[in-house]
A and B are shown apart, each in its own frame.
Chain A
């Protein structure tokens, strides 16, 4: 069972798009290692022939009729936006400067 190092926690935090301070990293690394040690015990009881259960209900591809219906106005959709310009979401740059 792998031990979760501080560097691995930093890497996973980067993948999850969470910037952590050094103090947060120190604290989380210790706690997560303990938690991972505990949750890894699931490997001890479930044999290969047990099928995984992905969902508690026996439902398959439930869909609604594909019909146009009223939805949010652009004003409503933009009402909670941190920034908007000319009726559109304004976002930070998404391309590198180089």
Chain B
């Protein structure tokens, strides 16, 4: 076995970024099988403690890695990330691989088809390591609402990794995967990125196909990359993005030049707008301090800092918690115990009806948060309340879109801290749904208006835990996120001398024999 210091030891391999691994595989200095095996070993060593994965597919990943190596030997170049393994959130359909959306109601379900994202990853030669843990049907901000137990934050195993995509971000932060796929309905890529010290991008709504994603709220859901660097995110974004005729909400335009923007990383002459309404009050002091320092770094690199008013943003949270449950209650109606998933008969009833079986199954199969939101959504859409709740919430959405439009007249991008606090303790907010919901205050406006957003790690707060810097751009101008994200990342790296994850404590490692 290689020593930790040898250039291609498993320890070294898993700490390299995806772009670097892709280049090493392309020039033959590493094989995809070596890289994939190193990550499978890392998962075996640390995932008992982190629980980022719900399902690991060692056999499938290694078969895909062998195919990537053979393609390279034959001179085929499928993508800059060919042969680089990836973890996929368990809400994305993967043919032949279990897909549960973190719910008991789909336990054991194996999709007979691939999501478009999965098809594109396979075509680009990325081996799929497995499926990552998540809040049930992506409802949550902490990954504690998974039916299969919580994921733990690699920075402190007693803390949450964010949600709903805590599994994807934790896998990337714990060096179990160089890349992961997340989905972001109200911040579920960006907020976990912020609290795990990783990079997370929510592309423009419609920029990445939703075909084959188990829907939470169809007008808000968007899949995107979870990575450790801005360039890695851009490379993955380019693979999964672009028009798909299987999704009628997919944008019929090429992916903007995100990789080029990530390589350039130049903010000189750019106007950066600070949204004061979601940057100050209620935010942890260390999070605010890191935010202010990041602004100074961007200013030193030639950006102009301006302050913009977005008064409707604070009302976004209330609108979101009406729109999401309403759409979710409709989307989750398909879990009716008839064609797939769990079926439970009501106790003490002979020859139960379909309706009774449906009610008993949904009680047994859905967790508390899912029931809470389905009932709230059903209530908000019910006769007499539709106009007062759902209709009003859609009007707030118009106001938020107008705020964005006005702000983007004054600034090229908008910025805020990604989450109000660093990672809180597991269990701390579990019995207080409103406190949990407040965590998404800064990320939600982007989903309501459909604009793209990114979170990059910008340091450690006073408690030694990572904080995130959020960048928002106008719809279809995802390239601006990468331009600004890469510039800030470079400035921070210069200051720190090494990636922030180097400061994370070592994880307990289980001895693994193959």
Spell out A's residues near B (CB within 8 Å): 4, 8-9, 12-21, 24, 27-28, 31-32, 34-36, 38-43, 45-47, 50-57, 59, 62-64, 72, 76-77, 79-83, 89, 91-94, 96-97
Instruction: Return 7 A-B CB contacts under 8 Å, by A number.
Output: A12-B378, A18-B366, A38-B318, A40-B389, A57-B251, A72-B112, A97-B351
What residue in chain B is nearest A51 (Cβ atoms)? B398
Known A17-B362, A42-B322, A63-B248; 12 more pairs at CB < 8 Å: A18-B363, A19-B359, A28-B371, A34-B434, A35-B437, A36-B376, A42-B392, A46-B392, A53-B398, A62-B249, A80-B111, A94-B353
Q: Which of B205, B346, B371 contacts A18 (CB 8 A)?
A: B371
Alpha-carbon separation in the docked complex, A43 to B393 (Å):
8
Contact B376 A42, beta carbon cutoff 8 Å: no
- Asked whether any CB of chain A lies closer than 8 Å to the CB of B242, the reply is no
Tell me the minimal C-beta distance from A68 to chain B in angstroms: 15
- Which residues of chain B are within 8 angstroms of A53 by Cβ–Cβ distance? 394-395, 397-398, 401
How many chain B residues touch A (CB < 8 A): the figure is: 73
Contact B340 A81, beta carbon cutoff 8 Å: yes
Contact A18 B433, beta carbon cutoff 8 Å: no
Q: Which of A36, A80, A91 contacts B112 (CB 8 A)?
A: A80
Contact B206 A57, beta carbon cutoff 8 Å: yes
Tell me the minimal C-beta distance from A84 to chain B in angstroms: 10
- Of the candidate stretches B126-134, B176-184, B189-197, B331-339, the one touching chain A is B331-339
Contact A39 B375, beta carbon cutoff 8 Å: no
Tell me the minimal C-beta distance from A63 to chain B in angstroms: 7
- Which residues of chain A are within 8 angstroms of B356 by Cβ–Cβ distance? 92
Alpha-carbon separation in the docked complex, A53 to B395 (Å):
6
What residue in chain B is nearest A28 (Cβ atoms)? B372
Tell me the minimal C-beta distance from A54 to chain B in angstroms: 6
Alpha-carbon separation in the docked complex, A73 to B95 (Å):
14
Q: Take A19-B359, A42-B318, A42-B389 as given contacts and tell me if A89 and B395 are in contact as well, using a CB distance cutoff of 8 Å.
A: no
Contact B450 A92, beta carbon cutoff 8 Å: no
Tell me the minimal C-beta distance from A88 to chain B in angstroms: 11
Top-4 shortest CB links A-B: A56-B450, A46-B395, A52-B394, A80-B340
B343-364 with Cβ < 8 A to chain A: 343, 345-346, 351-360, 362-363
Contact A32 B396, beta carbon cutoff 8 Å: no
Contact B434 A38, beta carbon cutoff 8 Å: yes
Tell me the minimal C-beta distance from B343 to chain A in angstroms: 4
Contact A93 B251, beta carbon cutoff 8 Å: no
- Asked whether any CB of chain A lies closer than 8 Å to the CB of B475, the reply is yes
Alpha-carbon separation in the docked complex, A92 to B337 (Å):
9
Contact A82 B371, beta carbon cutoff 8 Å: no
Tell me the minimal C-beta distance from B508 to chain A in angstroms: 35
Q: Which of B111, B205, B362 contacts A19 (CB 8 A)?
A: B362
Alpha-carbon separation in the docked complex, A38 to B322 (Å):
10
Contact B396 A45, beta carbon cutoff 8 Å: yes
- Asked whether any CB of chain A lies closer than 8 Å to the CB of B148, the reply is no
Tell me the minimal C-beta distance from B370 to chain A in angstroms: 9
- Asked whether any CB of chain A lies closer than 8 Å to the CB of B60, the reply is no
- Asked whether any CB of chain A lies closer than 8 Å to the CB of B157, the reply is no
Alpha-carbon separation in the docked complex, A34 to B322 (Å):
13
Tell me the minimal C-beta distance from B209 to chain A in angstroms: 13
B158-208 with Cβ < 8 A to chain A: 205-206
Q: Take A45-B396, A52-B391, A52-B394 as given contacts and tell me if A20 and B434 are in contact as well, using a CB distance cutoff of 8 Å.
A: no
Contact B375 A12, beta carbon cutoff 8 Å: yes
Contact with A along B481-502 (1 / 0, CB 8 A): 0000000000000000000000
Alpha-carbon separation in the docked complex, A44 to B340 (Å):
43
What residue in chain B is nearest A9 (Cβ atoms)? B375
Alpha-carbon separation in the docked complex, A23 to B333 (Å):
24
Alpha-carbon separation in the docked complex, A14 to B359 (Å):
8
Alpha-carbon separation in the docked complex, A30 to B257 (Å):
49
- Which residues of chain A are within 8 angstroms of B433 by Cβ–Cβ distance? 31, 35
Contact with A along B237-257 (1 / 0, CB 8 A): 000000001101101000000
- Which residues of chain B are within 8 angstroms of A15 by Cβ–Cβ distance? 378, 382
- Which residues of chain B are within 8 angstroms of A14 by Cβ–Cβ distance? 359
Tell me the minimal C-beta distance from B357 to chain A in angstroms: 5
Q: Which of A8, A21, A45, A63 contacts B315 (CB 8 A)?
A: A45
What residue in chain A is nearest B379 (Cβ atoms)? A12
Contact B337 A82, beta carbon cutoff 8 Å: yes
From A34, A77, A82, residue with most partner B Cβ within 10 Å: A82
Tell me the minimal C-beta distance from B406 to chain A in angstroms: 15
Q: Take A4-B379, A12-B375, A16-B329 as given contacts and tell me if A45 and B399 are in contact as well, using a CB distance cutoff of 8 Å.
A: yes
Tell me the minimal C-beta distance from B306 to chain A in angstroms: 25
Contact B338 A89, beta carbon cutoff 8 Å: yes
Alpha-carbon separation in the docked complex, A35 to B318 (Å):
9
Q: Which of B354, B372, B378 contacts A92 (CB 8 A)?
A: B354
- Asked whether any CB of chain A lies closer than 8 Å to the CB of B312, the reply is yes
Contact B251 A94, beta carbon cutoff 8 Å: no
What residue in chain B is nearest A97 (Cβ atoms)? B351
Q: Which of A77, A80, A82, A93 contacts B353 (CB 8 A)?
A: A93
